[in-house]
Amino acid sequence: MKAPILPASLKKGDKIAIISPAGSVEKPQLEDGLHIIRSKGYEPALGEHLYTKFSNGYNYAGTEKERISDMNWALNDPEISAVWASRGGYGCQHLVEHLKLSGFRKNPKWYIGYSDNTVIQSYLLKKGFASIHAQTVKTSGFGVTPEGYDLTFDILEGKMPEYSIKNNKLNTSGFAQGDLVGGNLALIYALLGTKYSFDFKDKILFIEDIGEKFYALDRMLMSLELAGVFSKIKGMIVGGMTLMEDEKENINYEESFDEFSYRIIAERISKYNFPVIFGFPNGHIYDNRPIIIGAEISMKVGNKVEVKF
């Protein structure tokens, strides 16, 4: 199998499409993020339905047809050099059957987002393209560290990240190397059994989530277990588990690494012999640092915990 394509680096002045593929957003929620993009020397190109709101049991950013239109424009327009999701939420599954990549294949571009955007990132990887699992343009909700954005722009400009993180008592020591797959656990789970599911064989799996009951977390892990995912992967990285079981009004960085959720995960994978990192700084957390879905990484877990792309 060919290695996934990492899109070309951006140049100052390039246009970055800003679209809303899932939940609706309002202009004030994107002001800070758009300012950051401009301050880095890039031009935001706003999707036609970026601020559209369509209520149908959930506040979507437009009808399915409108969101599909914006996504296909952003992916295929030759003047666009990267695509950045305004937010996640729910709705990306509506789009994947209708995405076109004719222009994208000629001019691959980075897609940036997380949460529900895991669906789009899994789709792109099935087509052979890497993407960036990172903070969306929307900055409100969890707060965002400047470093999270700075590191994302580093990737856009061709600099691959390396992370040294604090050890966790639940970590499993070892070394693994392979392509990184995954993202939001609920969407990894939702794609199982479909043609858009990740290929897990010999991969390193990343998971994060928000707002799930503990039994629901275990149910999703059991689905991965029954699908044979844990017997296929070479390593696992666990990011934020935020607002699990009982929601709290005030979120801080440490609470986003929910200890009981981590214990559930550790127990569920305890019979497998691969290295595991807990407490990786990516997910619905304040210090959300970018990773590259589809890129080859190495993970070293011992007294030092290192992840290199």
List the structure tokens of 138. Answer: 């929307």
Strand partners, 85: 19
Q: Is the pLDDT of residue 113 over 60?
A: yes
For residues 65 and 136, membership in a common domain is answered with yes
Give counts: helices (H), strands (E), the chain. 9, 15
Report how far apart, in Å, the C-alpha atoms of 33 and of each of 82, 127, 142, 146, 269 are. Answer: 15, 29, 13, 10, 37
For residues 64 and 169, membership in a common domain is answered with no
Q: How confident is the model at residue 45 (pLDDT cuts 50, 70, 90)?
A: very high
pLDDT the model gives residue 254: 54
Q: How confident is the model at residue 196 (pLDDT cuts 50, 70, 90)?
A: very high
Answer yes or no: are the C-beta atoms of 31 and 10 closer than 8 Å.
no
pLDDT, average across residues 188-192: 98
Cα distance between residue 32 and residue 12, in whole Å? 19
CATH of the domain at 233: 3.50.30.60
What residue numbers bound the domain in which 184 lies?
Answer: 162-308
6 in a structural domain: no
pLDDT in tens, 204-255: 999 999 999 999 999 999 999 999 999 999 999 999 999 999 766 555 555 6
For residues 170 and 278, membership in a common domain is answered with yes
For residues 76 and 170, membership in a common domain is answered with no
224 in a structural domain: yes
pLDDT in tens, 145-184: 999 999 999 999 999 999 999 999 999 999 999 999 999 9
pLDDT the model gives residue 30: 97
Q: Is 84 exposed, middle or buried (0-12, 13-18, 19+ CB in 10 A)?
A: buried
2 in a structural domain: no
Q: What global pTM score does this model have? A: 0.96
For residues 240 and 304, membership in a common domain is answered with yes
Cα distance between residue 188 and residue 196, in whole Å? 10
DSSP 41-87: T-EEEE-TTTT--EESSSEESS-HHHHHHHHHHHHH-TTEEEEEES-
What mean pLDDT, rounded, does the chain reach?
96
